[in-house]
Chains A and B, each alone.
Chain A
Amino acid sequence: MKSVAIVGVGMTPVREHWSRSIGELAEEAGRFALEDAGLATADALYVGNAYGATYNQQTQLGSLIAGDLGLAGIESFSCEAGDASGGVALRTGYLAVAAGAVKTVLVLGVEKATDVVGLARNTARSVSLNADYETVNGATLTAMAGLLMRRYMVEHDVELAQFEGFSINAHRNGARNRKAMYRNLLRPGSFGKAPMLAEPVSLFDSAPDADGAAALVLAPADEAVDLAPKPVLVAGSAVATDTLMLQDRRDPLHFAAVQRSAAQALDQAGLAAGDLDLLELHDGYTILTALALEAMGLSERGSGWAWAQADGEQISLGGELPLCTFGGLKSRGNPSGATGVYQAVEATLQLRGEAGDNQVAGAETALAQNLGGLGSTAVTHVLSAIPE
């Protein structure tokens, strides 16, 4: 297996891009990433997209986007794992380069949610749950998160207010990120008063659906130094699955796929979770962050929420464990199939020292973790700066 490096990144702002098509968003991010890498083309394009079929009535995004980028003819197809689609596109690109099957890969995540509005969007997003046993009963992703969070709060005797630091931290970081969708700060105490979506999950707990595209270019690490001034090493890459349905898990409050994928990726990188300088976690709901921290061994079972105390001071940019440094899903926004690529792009900027107002001082190692459903798919990448 060859070592793989990230040699170029690009992204669009995360917004409600009412006037722009899925192809236009993808084309902008892809062009930025290729320009950043100093390349005119790539050998392959892997597209992360979750809901093109239900949001946009559009499949075959590989062909569509390669064409929009002027790359018609290259190997290209889309990768889907619900909200982890961007993460599995990165994994696919990593495997292709590591195997030596292709030399340069453009990994591109894109989602265009605003083609569908209101309840129809809830329906369109629910296809990542089990159709026969969950969705048929009126379940949504947010409702399933509500079930997890309620059980967690009762089993571990945790109050709703103890989660608010995760959202406060996300918005504090997102407010500094011009590409973020919601750049407002969350006032301490407002979290518990927000409108409920699926009790106890509220509007201030749940990440907003969004439009956006992010892209990165992969190349063999031994050639990366000639391509880019500051290549970043993909030091670990792993995907693990848990059951699609919460109801099939022996212990729904344990994220087995997170544990497995993080352990594998960290082991490949020769790192422990506590060594990381920052983590881009999948904070679609605050309960996901708490459970992921526990599954990775950064908290004892039932105490992941503790990282959020004191308005998330310990997880802030200057804290012991910086989380969601560009605003996470909650503030930057959740363009589902693009989210995993945004996370990797943001982590890359941190390791290049190009994160601007969001910079974690001296960051050398980062973890990006992208989840599909309620931890049904977990994709973990560990990135590290390459010493000059």
Chain B
Amino acid sequence: MTVNRGEGSPLVKRLGNEAESLQGEVYSFTLVQDPPEGFEAQAPYYLALVRVAGGNLITAQLTDVDAGVNIGDRVEMVTRKLTTDGARGIIVYGYKFRPLVK
């Protein structure tokens, strides 16, 4: 079995290893009001396509966006809880993007 992790993972290939590659700008966004299971507590939440340095697009939620969102907003990747998995409530961590702190 092949496990995608570390430098072999598609996400790392997209991002590279440079710190600035974790930054990007909002290519498009939506406010999800009709979520799937596991995301009801967060709804409504912003989901976005973010164009990161290097030109790739990443699908991720936006977080800490109390002031609203616009296409072209500068954002940076952060680690966040995405959801909890199943009856045992195991926390699933992942990445989201937040407005770039200047």
* Residue pair B29, A119 in contact (C-beta under 8 Å): no
Whether, in the assembled complex, B71 has its beta carbon less than 8 Å from a beta carbon of chain A, the answer is: yes
Residue of A nearest to B60 (CB): A137
Q: How far is the CA of A245 from the CA of B10 in the complex (A)?
A: 13
Q: How far is the CA of A196 from the CA of B61 in the complex (A)?
A: 18
Whether, in the assembled complex, B56 has its beta carbon less than 8 Å from a beta carbon of chain A, the answer is: yes
Q: How far is the CA of A136 from the CA of B80 in the complex (A)?
A: 12
Q: Which residues of B contact A247 (CB under 8 A)?
A: 49, 56-59
A154 touching B10 in the complex, CB below 8 Å, given contacts A135-B36, A136-B94: no
Whether, in the assembled complex, B33 has its beta carbon less than 8 Å from a beta carbon of chain A, the answer is: yes
Q: Which residues of A contact B42 (CB under 8 A)?
A: 138
A119 touching B35 in the complex, CB below 8 Å, given contacts A136-B82, A147-B28: yes
Whether, in the assembled complex, B53 has its beta carbon less than 8 Å from a beta carbon of chain A, the answer is: no
* Residue pair B59, A137 in contact (C-beta under 8 Å): yes
* Residue pair B59, A134 in contact (C-beta under 8 Å): yes
* Residue pair B60, A199 in contact (C-beta under 8 Å): no
Q: Which residues of A contact B39 (CB under 8 A)?
A: 138
Q: Which residues of B contact A146 (CB under 8 A)?
A: 30-32, 47
Whether, in the assembled complex, A17 has its beta carbon less than 8 Å from a beta carbon of chain B, the answer is: no
Q: Which residues of B contact A199 (CB under 8 A)?
A: 30-31, 33
* Residue pair B61, A138 in contact (C-beta under 8 Å): yes
A120 touching B71 in the complex, CB below 8 Å, given contacts A136-B94, A137-B61, A138-B47: no
Map CB proximity to A onto B53-82 as digits: 1 under 8 Å, 0 otherwise. 000111111000000000100000000001
Most buried by A among B45, B57, B83: B57
Map CB proximity to B onto A95-130 as digits: 1 under 8 Å, 0 otherwise. 000000000000000000000000110110010000
A198 touching B30 in the complex, CB below 8 Å, given contacts A133-B59, A151-B71: yes
Q: How far is the CA of A143 from the CA of B57 in the complex (A)?
A: 16
* Residue pair A246, B32 in contact (C-beta under 8 Å): no
Q: Which residues of B contact A154 (CB under 8 A)?
A: 28, 71
Q: How far is the CA of A142 from the CA of B56 in the complex (A)?
A: 22
Query: What is the total number of residues of chain B having a CB less than 8 Å from a CB of chain A?
Result: 34
Chain A binding surface SS class: helix
Chain A stretch 234-249: residues in CB contact (< 8 A) with chain B: 245-248
Q: How far is the CA of A199 from the CA of B44 in the complex (A)?
A: 10
Q: Which residues of A contact B47 (CB under 8 A)?
A: 137-139, 143, 146-147, 198
Map CB proximity to A onto B17-57 as digits: 1 under 8 Å, 0 otherwise. 00000000001111111111111101001011100000011
* Residue pair A246, B49 in contact (C-beta under 8 Å): yes
| Size class of the A contact interface (CB-based, 8 Å) | 20 to 34
* Residue pair A122, B36 in contact (C-beta under 8 Å): yes
A137 touching B94 in the complex, CB below 8 Å, given contacts A245-B59, A246-B49: yes
Residue of A nearest to B51 (CB): A247
Most buried by A among B33, B38, B61, B92: B33
Residue of A nearest to B31 (CB): A199
Q: Which residues of B contact A139 (CB under 8 A)?
A: 47, 59
Whether, in the assembled complex, A150 has its beta carbon less than 8 Å from a beta carbon of chain B, the answer is: yes
* Residue pair A123, B34 in contact (C-beta under 8 Å): no
Whether, in the assembled complex, B12 has its beta carbon less than 8 Å from a beta carbon of chain A, the answer is: no
Whether, in the assembled complex, B11 has its beta carbon less than 8 Å from a beta carbon of chain A, the answer is: yes
Q: How far is the CA of A149 from the CA of B38 in the complex (A)?
A: 25
Q: Which residues of A contact B94 (CB under 8 A)?
A: 136-137
* Residue pair A122, B61 in contact (C-beta under 8 Å): no
Whether, in the assembled complex, A39 has its beta carbon less than 8 Å from a beta carbon of chain B, the answer is: no
Q: How far is the CA of A150 from the CA of B27 in the complex (A)?
A: 9
* Residue pair B32, A138 in contact (C-beta under 8 Å): yes
Most buried by B among A150, A199, A201: A150
Q: List 10 A-B contacts (CB under 8 A).
A: A136-B92, A136-B94, A138-B45, A142-B34, A147-B47, A154-B71, A196-B31, A247-B57, A247-B59, A252-B49
| Contacts A122-B36, A198-B33, A200-B30 supplied; 17 other A-B pairs, CB < 8 Å | A126-B36, A137-B60, A138-B36, A138-B61, A139-B59, A140-B35, A146-B47, A147-B30, A147-B47, A195-B33, A198-B47, A199-B30, A199-B31, A199-B33, A245-B59, A246-B57, A248-B57
Interface residues of B (CB under 8 A from A): 4, 10-11, 27-40, 42, 45, 47-49, 56-61, 71, 82-83, 92, 94, 96
User: Which 7 pairs across A and B sit closest by C-beta, in order of nearness?
Assistant: A146-B30, A151-B28, A247-B57, A123-B36, A122-B36, A138-B39, A197-B34
